[in-house]
Chains A and B, each alone.
Chain A
Amino acid sequence: MSAFVPLKRVFDWKIRGVRWIEIIGLALVAAMIFSVYLAKAAAASQGARIASLERQITQNGQRVRLLRAEAARLEQPARLEALSREAGLGPVDVHRQATVAGLPDLAPIPEPTPVVIVAPTIPAEPAAEEPQAEATAVTEDAQ
């Protein structure tokens, strides 16, 4: 029975004949009810927001479907062909077709022309920019 002694003390701890343990319990219950209420209210507002977002998604989805259908209608093969024939377009003749592999034959890559670097007249003793400026001046003179 010695184990129940502290428990008994807790139950005997009273104020004006009311057990403290009951007061604390009630306060805890009240706090819990309030927090549950807060959580529920927050959840409800989130739920409403989710519902409105989902409604929006559905509406946007409908709109996307509508636009896709409209795009598909405008891209009907028969319509595209009629339009391109009207514009004077047609299938490309085989002699004017080329593959990537055939490109070098059509337009050979030009030989890299040797870059003529004119030697500066004055040996490059001063700053690094100077010889370059010298070089452009020389080419301009050549022209």
Chain B
Amino acid sequence: MSVHDDPHAWQRPAPGRPGGGVSMPSWRWLSEAMWRIEHSFGRARADARPEEDTRVRIFVILTLFSAVFVCLALGAVNAALLAPKGGVWSGGHPNAVSRADMVDRTGALLATNIIHYGLYIDPAEVWDRRAAAVRIKRALPRVSMSRLNRVLSGDRRLIVMPGLTPAERAAVHGLALGGVSFEPEDRRVYPLGASATHVLGVADTGGQGITGAELAFNREIREAGARGESFPLSIDLRVQGVLENELAQAVADSQAKGAVGIIADVQTGEILGMASWPTSDRLNRAASAHYEMGSVFKTFTVAAGLDTGRADMNTLFDASEAFMIGKRRITDFHATNQVLTLEEVYLHSSNIGTSRLAVEMGPTVMQDYFKRFGLLDAAPVELHESARPRRPSKWDDSTLASLSFGYGIMITPLQMTAAMGALTNGGRFIPLTLRKGGRPNADVRQVVSPETSLTLLDLLRRNVVRGSGGRADAPGLRVGGKTGSANKLVNGRYDPTHAVGTFAAVFPADGPVDARRYSILILIDEPGSYPRTGGFVAAPAVGRIADRIAPFLGVERRADQYRTALGEKIPAFEDVEGDGR
């Protein structure tokens, strides 16, 4: 026992100094506990239970180690057997890209990411700088010679040119020059060039959308890219191609300054094609340009008149003399000088008739219906470019008369497409969309009754077979539509040499209100040829487009009550007037 400490010392408290140093109760408790454990062996032996105490120690240590090893083993088993597949070797999806490919509704590629290469040169490793410069310039003609020389005469590795295509890289790489190296960079590529350029927009080198669908769906495109999927738009490239080609043809025929074409599915609001000419212009005229569209607005006035019950097809309007509002004298482009029914007002495109109807309905009703047709707000579409219309500031009789035939309000072509869709799909105003399959939980509202919609469809069709839209007919496709011709305000007055010719069409115009139906809007801005009216500059393009896209859209040629399936006249119906106003 003598070699051991004094047994009484084992019961002693920890050798702390209660007077000084750390005197917190918790600290004291901890040091006492440590002290007790430290001396438990000796204390147990003193109590004549030495073996039992050793066993307890060994058992405790064994338990601790076992627990630790069991944890490690479970972790190892978990990592080996239950870890997610591919989680170790590949970070994320193997086909992941920063921005998803944009494809059309059939899967044709519209925009993609391609690895490009930045060309770097370290002049210290170049033997013959002059020869290197000449050879690189020959292999890569678009490189800036001054930049190349500046890098070659410098003293450190610098970038000469970013964005080499893989072919250009191969050409420069094939020179086998020292000091030339390449660094990959992800670039957004639009393989269609100018085609659909306004729909797609552009993304910057940082992978963020700047305009068009790239901006509108920026987040979703990036998410789809991370999943390795592509992002489908509502565009149909075949339809888009026909639209662009025919629009270019119409522009060439009419020597116009600009043009817009939009094709949409009126039942879902999906835009199947949207083109703005010239394509070199960054401005998307379909979404951002404002136009006074002229007589196409008569459709809205007539629709409002029919829907309120203020008029029906046989209501008479006196167009025998000019309509006077104060000092303003409203006349017809082709004066008929007779009393007209509402149908004749529409088919003859009588300003007097629609003005009388609009003034009769009054500002509240007109404003209400224009609001319902979305003519007073920006077109509801994902594009950020969609511009607000220029609305009239006051709604007096003179303004109402102007509005009734499409003056005094400047709207974007997309608004016109949305409104025409609402009038021809049973009266439901469906927001336009560039998303394939339509907009999820779209805010659809009923703006006119289905009966009004049916009446208008027939009226639009009659306008093509008997009225001003004859050149828009396509054999067997039952095209219906309304022409619009407006003069532009130049230096404060309407100048007949600066015109806008429009044709807003829908096909097929027959069948029930919920039948598959497509709208075509063609707008020709400042045509140079004469006559400048919509019936001459825009309608023929509509006819050609309908003729060519019908097979893609699955619209079959069929006879209706006015025309045979091959486009021959059924004698009871003939043109009342071929002026194309």
Chain A positions near chain B (C-beta within 8 angstroms)? 47, 50-51, 54, 57-58, 61-62, 65-66, 68-73, 75-78, 80-81, 91, 94-95, 97, 99
B191 touches A77 (CB 8 A): no
- The residue on A at minimum CB distance from B245 is A81
Per-residue CB contact flags for chain B residues 235-254 toward chain A (1 = under 8 Å, else 0) read 00110111011001000000
Asked if A66 and B114 sit within 8 Å, CB to CB, the answer is: yes
A-B contact pairs, 30 of them (CB 8 A): A47-B89, A50-B89, A51-B89, A54-B94, A62-B115, A65-B112, A66-B114, A68-B109, A69-B112, A69-B114, A69-B191, A71-B109, A73-B191, A76-B191, A76-B193, A76-B241, A77-B237, A77-B241, A77-B244, A77-B245, A78-B193, A78-B245, A81-B241, A81-B245, A91-B548, A94-B475, A94-B547, A94-B557, A94-B566, A97-B557
Q: Tell me, in angstroms, the Cα distance from A72 to B476 when the chains sit together.
A: 33
List B contacts of A78 (CB < 8 A): 193-195, 241, 244-245, 248
Least CB distance, B108 to chain A, in whole angstroms: 7
Q: Which 6 A-B pairs have the closest CB atoms?
A: A77-B241, A72-B191, A73-B191, A72-B109, A94-B475, A69-B191
Contacts across chains A and B counted by CB atoms under 8 Å: 74
Closest Cβ of chain B to A54, distance in Å, is: 6
Q: B241 — which chain A residues lie within 8 A by C-beta?
A: 76-78, 80-81
Are A69 and B109 in touch, CB under 8 angstroms? yes
The interface centre, meaning the residue of A62, A69, A77 with most chain B CB atoms within 10 A of its CB, is A77
**Interface size classification for chain B:** 35 or more
Which residues of B does A touch, CB under 8 Å? 88-90, 94-95, 101, 108-110, 112-115, 166, 189, 191-195, 237-238, 240-242, 244-245, 248, 475-476, 544, 547-548, 556-557, 566-567
- Complex Cα gap A3–B28 (Å): 47
Q: Which residues of B contact A58 (CB under 8 A)?
A: 94
Bound: A91/B240 CA distance, A = 16
Alpha-carbon distance between A80 and B242 when the two chains are bound, in angstroms: 11
Cβ of B363 to closest chain A Cβ, rounded Å: 46
Which residues from chain B contact A99 at a C-beta distance below 8 Å? 556
Shortest distance between the CB of B95 and any CB in chain A (Å): 6
Q: Judge whether A76 and B89 touch: CB under 8 Å.
A: no
Closest to B228 in A: A61
Give the residue of A66, A70, A73, A77 whose beta carbon is less than 8 angstroms from that of B238.
A77
Query: How long is the Cα–Cα vector from A57 to B95 in the complex, in angstroms?
Result: 9
Residue in A50, A68, A81, A91 whose CB lies within 8 Å of B112? A68
CA of A66 to CA of B548, assembled, Å: 31
The smallest beta-carbon distance between B279 and chain A, in angstroms, is: 9
Question: How long is the Cα–Cα vector from A32 to B566 in the complex, in angstroms?
Answer: 85
Residues of B within 8 A of A71 (CB): 109
